[in-house]
Amino acid sequence: MKSLDRRDLLHVGCSTLFGLTLPRIVSAATNASNGAKPKSVILVLQSGGCPQMDSFDPKPDGPSETKGEFGAIQTKTPGMLFSDQLPHLAKVSDKFAIVRTMAHRDNRHLSATHHALTGVAQVFRGNANEDKELSRLDRPSYGSALEYLRPSVNGLPSQVTAPLPLIEGPLTWPGQHSGFLGPKFDPWIINSDPSTDEFKVDGVQLIDGMTTSRLKNRKGLLEDLNSQKRSLDRLARKQQFTSQQDVAFNLLTSGKLTGACDIHAESDELRDRYGRNKYGQTLLLARRMVENGVPFVQANMGHVQSWDTHVENFPRLKGHLLPGVDQGVSALITDLEERGLIDDVLIVVVGEFGRSPRISTLPNATVPGRDHWAYVYSALFAGGGVRGGQVIGKSDHQGGYPTTTPYSPDDMGATIYNTLGINPHAEIIDHQGRPMRLSEGNVMDVLYTG
pLDDT tens-digit readout, 266-282: 999 999 999 999 999 99
Q: What pLDDT score does 412 carry? A: 98
pTM: 0.87
Angle, helices 142-149/409-419, rounded to nearest 10 degrees = 40
Whether residue 7 is predicted with pLDDT greater than 50 in this model: the reply is no
Q: Are 305 and 365 in contact (CB under 8 A)?
A: no
How much of the chain exceeds pLDDT 90, in percent?
73
Domain 6-211+252-449 belongs in CATH node 3.40.50.720: no
Nearest-CA neighbor of 164 among 130, 125, 111, 203?
203
Whether residue 12 is predicted with pLDDT greater than 70 in this model: the reply is no
The C-alpha atoms of residue 370 and residue 360 are separated, in whole angstroms, by 6
Residue-level pLDDT at 435: 94
Average pLDDT of the residues of the chain = 86
- The predicted model gives 186-202 an average pLDDT of 86
Does the N-terminal peptide bond of residue 163 adopt cis geometry, omega within 30 degrees of 0? yes
**How confident is the model over 395-415, as pLDDT tens digits?**
999 999 999 999 999 999 999
Q: Report pLDDT for 205.
A: 54
* pLDDT tens-digit readout, 248-270: 566 656 667 778 889 999 999 99
Q: Which of 20-24, 34-38, 61-65 has the lowest mean pLDDT?
A: 20-24
The answer to whether the CB of 157 falls within 8 A of the CB of 188 is: yes
What's the pLDDT score for residue 13? 31
Q: How confident is the model at residue 209 (pLDDT cuts 50, 70, 90)?
A: low
- Segment (H or E) for 137: none
- What's the pLDDT tens digit per position in 107-126? 999 999 999 999 999 999 99
Tell me what pLDDT residue 36 has. 86
**How confident is the model at residue 154, as a pLDDT?**
87
Higher per-residue pLDDT: 35 or 288? 288
